[in-house]
Amino acid sequence: MQIGPYQLKNQLIVAPMAGVTDQPFRNLCVRYGAAMAVSEMLSSNPDVWDTDKSRQRMSHAGENGIRSVQIAGADPELMANAAVVNVQQGAQIIDINMGCPAKKVNKKLAGSALLQNPVQVKAILQAVVAAVDVPVTLKIRTGWAPEHRNGVQIAQIAEDCGIASLAVHGRTRQCMYKGDAEYDTIKAIKQNISIPVIANGDIVTPEKARYVLDHTGVDALMIGRGAQGRPWIFREIQHYLDTGNKLAPVEMDEKHLVMLEHLENLYELYGEYKGIRFARKHVGWYLDQEEQRPFRAEFNRLETVEKQCSMVERYFDEIAQN
C-alpha cells in the first residue's frame, strides 16, 4: 500500500490512541513489524500547544519509520494551521481525526461528531489538503449512530477533497467501543472509492486479521487495542498472512526484555513522576491475566522507578524458577 510518496512495507498500521501511542510505543510496534504508527491525537487549538504533553507529541526526535501525526478539531482554519505547524516540526503525513467518540472531543463538535455535518467535513478536508504539501489522511467511524451509517458519503467526500487514504473504525460514534465492530460498511466504502482504505476495530488475532482483509477487500489493517501489551502482534499477524501458520507465543525472556525497555523509555520521555504512572497501565496490559491481579494492584502503588523495575525483575525471576 502507498500513501503519497510513501510505500508501506506491509498492510499493518498502528492506530492512534490518546495516551497510548507515544513514541516509545510506536517505536516498539514498528520494530515488531508495523509498517507505520500514527501518533496520538493533537489538538488544533494553539492555546494548548505550550504544554509538556503537546511538546512531547509534536517532537519526532528518535522516531523510527514514517512520521504520521494526527490532528483534531472542528475549525478549518485552525486545522490547516495545525497541519502546517506539524509539517514544520517534521510530520511526513497529516492524519485528520473524525473518529474519536470521546465526550470531551465531541462536545467541541470535533472527532466523530463531525460525521453529522458533511459540509463541515468537506471544508476541513479542503483546508488541510490545500495547506500542506504532504499526504493528508483521514480516520472516521462508519457513522454517528447505527441508524445513521454515512461512511460511504464521507468517504466519497474525502476522495473528492484529495485525501490520500482513509481509515475506518467499524463502529459508529454512538457505539463507542461497545459491541462488535461491523465490517460490511467498510466493505461498501472500499467498493465505492479508489483511494486506499484501512479497516480498524477488533483486530486482535491473526485469524481475525485474515478474515477482515478477505471480507472487506481493504488495502491495510489498523490495529489499536490489540497491540496494547502485545507489540509483537504485528509480527504474529504478518507471519500468519504470509504462511497461514501461527507463531508460537512470545518467549518469557523476550517479553521480559521488552517490558523493561518500554519502561525505561517511558521514564526517559516523561520523567519519573509521569513515567511511573504511564508505566502502570502498560504493565497492566502486558500482564493482563486474571491471576496477575494481585501483582498489578501492588505494582500500581509503587512510587519510584527503582521499585517498579525491581518488581518486574522479581516477577520474571519467579516465573523462571517455576
Annotated binding site for FMN: 16-18, 70, 139, 200-202, 224-225
Alpha carbon 14 to its chain's center: 5
Burial class, 174, CB count within 10 angstroms (exposed 0-12 / middle 13-18 / buried 19+):
middle
3-state secondary structure of 130: helix
Distance between CA atoms of 149 and 194, rounded to whole angstroms?
Answer: 20
Alpha helices in the chain (DSSP H): 23-31, 52-58, 76-88, 103-106, 118-131, 151-160, 184-192, 206-216, 233-243, 252-286, 293-299, 305-321
Do residues 182 and 170 lie in contact, with contact meaning Cβ atoms separated by under 8 Å? yes
Residue type, 144: W
User: 10 Å Cβ neighbour count for 314?
Assistant: 11
Helix 23-31 to helix 252-286 angle (10° resolution) is 140
Task: Choose among 166, 167, 164: nearest CA to 134.
Answer: 164
Question: 29, 100, 161, 175: which is the annotated catalytic residue?
Answer: 100
List the one residue out of 103, 34, 52, 114 whose CA is nearest residue 79.
114
Q: Pick from 17, 12, 9: which is nearest to 34 by CA?
A: 12
Reply yes or no on whether 100 is catalytic.
Answer: yes
Q: What is the DSSP string of 183-203?
A: -HHHHHHHHH--S-EEEESS-
**Which residues contribute to the annotated binding site?**
16-18, 70, 139, 200-202, 224-225
Residues pairing with 2 in the sheet: 7
Residue of 74, 99, 71 whose CA lies nearest to 84: 71
Q: Which residues are catalytic?
A: 100
